[in-house]
Chain A
Amino acid sequence: KAGVTQTPRYLIKTRGQQVTLSCSPISGHRSVSWYQQTPGQGLQFLFEYFSETQRNKGNFPGRFSGRQFSNSRSEMNVSTLELGDSALYLCASSWGDSGNTIYFGEGSWLTVV
């Protein structure tokens, strides 16, 4: 059974550009969440989707957005990139709406120059 798949794994963008990251959850999982990991702030919650609906959103500016498709795949977008957006972006999936083991992908390393 394939795990959580994130693409691309590594990317470099210039300030002011926008980026889209993709996440394919484990087959059958309907819950997808996104996290940002930086050395200074640790792991911070971005947003959570369940059956195409955003259930929770973290304390990030509106430049960060996401969506979930009917096949549970998810994308997140960051517009007008800033240097501080450089981070590891992690996607996680889970089977149910709460209480089940949460599995993470390998992440997408974003560097903004």
Chain B
Amino acid sequence: KQEVTQIPAALSVPEGENLVLNCSFTDSAIYNLQWFRQDPGKGLTSLLLIQSSQREQTSGRLNASLDKSSGRSTLYIAASQPGDSATYLCAAVGGGGATNKLIFGTGTLLAVQP
């Protein structure tokens, strides 16, 4: 059974810092891993999707990496801004057959202080 863990649970940084959010999963048989952000009271916004055959994906100040062998993914945020404050969630899609079922981590609550 796939389990996804995110560390740290909460993080507070001053504006301008570079930061790394961590995601671990127990079953390496995944189709892909997706990172989302969630603002308070809102739905989830897709940030990056990494296919199981890829090592990393980049979008603007965001870079996500995937290491299936160690069951880890990281989300790197460069030059953080107060607008980056949100909860960040990683989710794995299993590889046991055609599915879009997401297994979510518990999230990292990020606060970027101006």
Contacts and interface: CB of A to CB of B under 8 A. Distances in A.
A97 B36 CA distance: 20
Interface residues of A, number: 27
Interface of A: 4, 6, 31, 33, 35, 42-43, 45, 48, 50, 55-56, 90, 92, 94, 97-107, 109
Contacts of A109: 41
Contact of B44 (A31, A94, A104): A104
B114 to A, nearest CB: 27
A105 B61 CA distance: 24
Nearest to A29: B100
| B31, B100, B102, B107: residue with the most chain A Cβ atoms closer than 10 Å | B100
User: Interface size for chain B: under 10, 10 to 19, 20 to 34, or 35 or more residues?
Assistant: 20 to 34
A14 to B, nearest CB: 23
B89 A43 contact: yes
11 contacts: A31-B100, A35-B104, A42-B104, A42-B106, A43-B102, A90-B43, A94-B100, A97-B100, A98-B31, A99-B32, A100-B49
Contacts of A106: 42-43
Contacts of B101: 33, 45, 48, 56
The DSSP consensus for interface residues of chain A is strand
B34 A102 contact: yes
A99 B50 CA distance: 9
Contacts of A6: 43
Given A45-B103, A56-B101, A101 B93 contact: no
Interface string B97-114: 011111110110000000
Contacts of B102: 33, 35, 43, 45, 92, 102
A55 B104 CA distance: 18
Nearest to A91: B43
